Amino acid sequence: MTKTLEKVLRKPLTGILISVVIGFLIGTVILLVAGFNPGSAYAAMFRGIFSKPKYISQVIINATPLILTALSVSFAAKTGLFNIGAEGQYIMGTLAAALIGYYVQLPPVIHPIFILLCAMLFGGLWGALAGWLKTKFGIHEVISTIMLNWIALYLNNYILSLPGVKKQGAQASNEILTSARTSILWDWKRSDAGKAWVAEHPVLGDILKTDLHWGILIALVAAVVIWFFLKHTTKGYAMRAVGQNPNASRFAGINVNRNTVQAMFIAGALAALGGAVQIMGTNSFRISVLPSHEGYGWDGLSVSLLAGSNPLGCILSALMFAALKYGSSTMQGDVGAPSEIINIMIGVIVLCIALSSIYPMIADSLKRREEMHA
Amino acid sequence: MLNTIILAVSITLMYSAPLIFSALGGVITQKSGVDNIGIEGMMTFGAFVGAGVGYATGSPWFAFLMGGLAGAALAFVHAFAAITLRASQIISGVALNFIGPGLALFLCRLQFDGATQSVPVSKKMPNVLDLFGISSQSLLNVNITVVIALLLTILMAFFLYKTKWGLRIQACGEHPAAADTLGVNVYAVRYVCCTLSGLLAGLGGASMTLGVVSNFSPSVISGQGFIALAAVIFGKWTPHGAMAACLLFGFAQALVVVLGGSGIPSQLLAMLPYLLTLIVLVLFVGRSEAPKANGKPYVKGER
């Protein structure tokens, strides 16, 4: 009995699941204290996620950039780096997409691919900058990426303030050209034939009402590629080795500095991919003046922690994360409980994950106690 | 011309005050060896509690204090996670950056019928000259929170460098094992300093909603916590250095207002604190001034 408990406590998944449960428990307590019925609040939330096909579709669309920013954080974590800079790298991706999507004219299909590559280059360099600052000047990546996040934010606002970039009368740029968009059946579903089809097909038609786009496929492919790269390639192995023990890696002949910069490049490219996909796929196809961070990077950090830095796990935890956030608006509308309860719950979950090293410690003490009795 | 200068000075002081509070918090916690990147969240929570209590009670001083205590409560959670449970201080800080604003907006919606903006308080923190009964229209009539922030800086510098308690705090951040062998309770010192950092961040947030503006809104704290963090580094982890950095960053804000669109783009000025901090870090290369044990949990008896 104790043996199984011990084993369970040592599994990384245990800590994650306990954290999620504690998050919901604290959420329940807060709802109770604030005078709401937690049962009906959570019921409303789940209705807001599952009751209509278009809700589920919207959750998937919202999860798409999160998968990519979470992949960015996870990849960095696997290589021993703490990438708090996904937020800024994401912004670089949106900038690249918005500018190249509007100013460069290319045929469809080629245009989005060109944008994706450029965005990855932009974001990759932004990430590599933090890696370079670390290897060259010993500046910890947490500090440098926090600074770079805000520099990226104001760079975004600065570029929007340049003449001609901002659309007249809007606090945003011009929409990207249609050739650059990755929407699915955008024109068709607005045509007469499309409208008729949507009316006839309750499930698929409902899904088509959302901003369906190809981004989720890009995110899924990225997750699998990153998983394969880390697990089954020599380069990926070298990067993980650097993450786990830089000194041993150096001794084994791995260039630690070069790997650090390259790892930050890839992490930055992934986050920027998230930004580009979001701009190319979702209405309104443009960037806006940002008063503060939108939070895709910070959310990606939480998603990655929830996934235990597992690239494939990021898909699932991003979906859960997006679902909770999306469902919370229904909770607010139907029950009146402020949707920010979700942010508190997410914070609690992240905090508990930070604490999850105590479960193996409990397992240790269990083992010790057993040995004493034996 | 003189008026412009006075205007620039008073705006600088006004914007700097919340930053100085929070930066002092950053200094004290990092000096003791606990990293706290959750300052932004603590500021936001303090900003709401200040505005909310100020509206409900009509007493700005009481509200100011409550704002500080609200930040301290969050910091205590961070201290428990970081010191007792030895959790990752960065992750815990990130968590508090979710929890702080989350709680602030949650409570705001409850108190103000679902609005994310609070109703302005009837009485703000007083201005200095009004306090002495001099009804002056002078632009230099700065808010009392500015004076408190400057006084706290002097107090903290004196405390850290001239008292034995201050030296003990520094020992905990530089070499906790050595401090421990001399009978300093490293855990207790770190608990107190980390909680203090939340108190100061909370006061910083409250000085924003009770001194600069008069109500809470979701964007009232947007980045000040991180600027404070930058100021700590920029000021080489000293109270007076951090204060000077905050004044410099506040001055950048004042330039935006005074220059009013002409000349340097405001977005680039807003970028300045972060850019300067990176540049300073690059120039410091090899001789980092950070407390050596900052961010590392202390385990008794471990080498």
Mean pLDDT over residues A307-326, rounded? 94
What are φ and ψ of residue A213, in 5° steps? -145, 170
Q: What is residue A239's predicted lDDT score, i.e. its pLDDT?
A: 93
Three-state DSSP class for residue A213: strand
Nearest partner of A318 among A26, A86, A93, judged by Cα? A86
Phi, psi of A173 (to 5 degrees): -80, 180
* Mean pLDDT value across residues A38-45: 93
A347/B95 CB distance under 8 A: yes
Q: What percent of chain B has a predicted confidence (pLDDT) above 90? A: 63
Q: What is the ipTM of this complex?
A: 0.89
In whole angstroms, what separates CA A147 from the centre of its chain? 20
Two structure tokens written together for B15: 């914007």
CA distance A212 to A8: 40
The answer to whether A12 touches A308, Cβ cutoff 8 Å, is yes
Q: Using CA atoms, how far apart are residues A140 and A238, in angstroms rounded to an integer?
A: 21
Q: Among A40-44, A186-190, A316-320, which is the least confidently predicted range?
A: A186-190
Cα-based angle B216, B220, B222 (whole degrees, multiple of 5)? 145
pLDDT of amino acid A197: 84
Give the model's pLDDT for residue B3. Answer: 81
CA distance B76 to B201: 13
The pLDDT score that the predictor gives to residue A223 is: 97
**Cβ atoms B247, B101 nearer than 8 A:** no
- Report residue A72's pLDDT band, with 50, 70 and 90 as the boundaries: very high
> Is residue A358, in this structure, part of any structural domain at all?
no
- Structural domain of A74: 54-185+211-315
pLDDT score for A1: 65
CB-nearest partner of A351 from B92, B105, B226: B92
pLDDT at B285 over 70: no
Average pLDDT over residues B259-285: 81
Least confident of B63-67, B135-139, B159-163: B135-139
Q: Using CB atoms, which residue from B91, B99, B281 is nearest to A137?
A: B281
Three-state SS at A86: helix
pLDDT for A105 equals 93
Average pLDDT, chain A: 91
Q: How confident is the model at residue B151, as a pLDDT?
A: 96
Beta-strand ranges (E) seen in B66-145 are: none
Instruction: Average the pLDDT over each of A252-256, A307-311, A355-359, B209-213 and give the range with the smallest value.
Output: A355-359
CB nearest B222 (choices: A161, A292, A305): A292
Between A89 and B136, whose confidence is greater?
A89
Does residue A77 sit within a domain? yes
In this structure, of A43-52, A152-161, B270-279, the range with the lowest mean pLDDT score is: B270-279
pLDDT digits (tens, 9 = 90+) for B220-244: 998 899 999 989 988 889 999 999 9
Residue B135's pLDDT band, with cuts at 50, 70 and 90, is low
pLDDT for residue A372: 80
DSSP A285-353: -S-B--SS--SHHHHHHHHHHHTTT-HHHHHHHHHHHHHHHHHHHHHHHHH---TTHHHHHHHHHHHHH
Does residue A65 lie within any of the structural domains? yes
Check if B232 contacts A (Cβ < 8 Å): no
- Check whether B287 has a pLDDT greater than 80: no
pLDDT at B222: 87
Give yes or no for a contact between B143 and B17, defined as CB atoms under 8 angstroms apart: yes
More confident residue, A195 or A159: A159
Q: Considering all CA atoms of chain A, what is the largest pairwise distance in Å, rounded to the nearest integer?
A: 79
pLDDT for res B6 = 85
CB B297 within 8 A of CB B172: no
- Does residue A30 lie in a domain region? no
C-alpha to C-alpha distance for A275 and A71, rounded to whole angstroms: 13
DSSP classification of residue A52: S
Within 8 A by CB and 6+ apart from B261, the residues are: none
Q: Is residue A9 part of a domain?
A: no
Q: Which residue has the higher pLDDT, B269 or B184?
A: B184
B286 contacts in chain A (CB < 8 Å): 138
Measure CB to CB from residue B94 to each of A291, A301, A344 and give the nearest one.
A301
Of the candidates B155, B247, B144, the one whose C-alpha atom is nearest the C-alpha of residue B196 is: B155
pLDDT at B286 over 60: no
Q: What is the pTM of this model?
A: 0.91
Predicted local confidence at residue A194, as pLDDT: 83
Q: How far is A126 from chain B (nearest CA, A)?
A: 14
Give the model confidence (pLDDT) of B55-78 as tens digits: 999 999 999 999 999 999 999 999
Distances (CA, A) of A140 to A134, A135, B73: 6, 9, 28
Contacts of B112 (CB under 8 A, 6+ apart): B118, B119
Among chain A residues, CA nearest to B97: A347
pLDDT at A140: 87
Q: What digits encode the pLDDT tens for the residues A269-306? A: 999 999 999 999 998 899 999 988 999 999 999 999 98
DSSP A170-205: SSBBPPPPGGG--BSSTTGGGSHHHHHHHHH-HHHH
Q: What is the pLDDT of residue B139?
A: 64
Per-residue pLDDT tens over the stretch B93-120: 999 999 999 999 999 999 998 888 999 9
Q: Which domains are present in chain B?
A: 2-126+142-283 (1.10.3470)
Q: At what angle do helices B164-174 and B144-162 cross, to 10 degrees?
A: 80
What is the rounded average pLDDT of the residues A162-179? 87
Lowest mean pLDDT among A94-98, A246-250, B262-266: B262-266
- Please measure the distance between the N-terminal and C-terminal CA atoms of chain A and give it in whole angstroms: 15
B78, B106, B226: which to substitute to probe chain A, counting the most A Cβ within 10 Å? B106
Pick from B43, B278, B285 the residue to mutate for testing the A interface (most A CBs within 10 Å). Answer: B278
CB contact under 8 A, A154 and B88: no
How many folded domains does chain A comprise?
1
Residue A12 confidence class, pLDDT cut points 50, 70, 90: confident
B75 touches chain A (CB under 8 A): no
In whole angstroms, what is the distance from residue B157 CA to residue A171 CA? Answer: 44
pLDDT at B189: 96
A92 pLDDT higher than 80: yes
Residue with tokens 């204090």: B65
- DSSP-assigned letter for residue A1: -
State the Cα–Cα distance between residues B128 and B148, nearest whole angstrom.
10
Residue B105 near chain A (CB below 8 Å)? yes
Give the pLDDT of residue B242: 94
State the residue for tokens 């992240």: A350
A113-151 confidence digits (pLDDT tens) = 999 999 999 999 999 999 999 999 988 898 899 999 999
Q: Which of B158, B226, B197 is nearest to B19 (CA)?
A: B226
Percent of residues, chain B, with pLDDT higher than 70: 95
How many interchain CB pairs under 8 A, A with B?
135
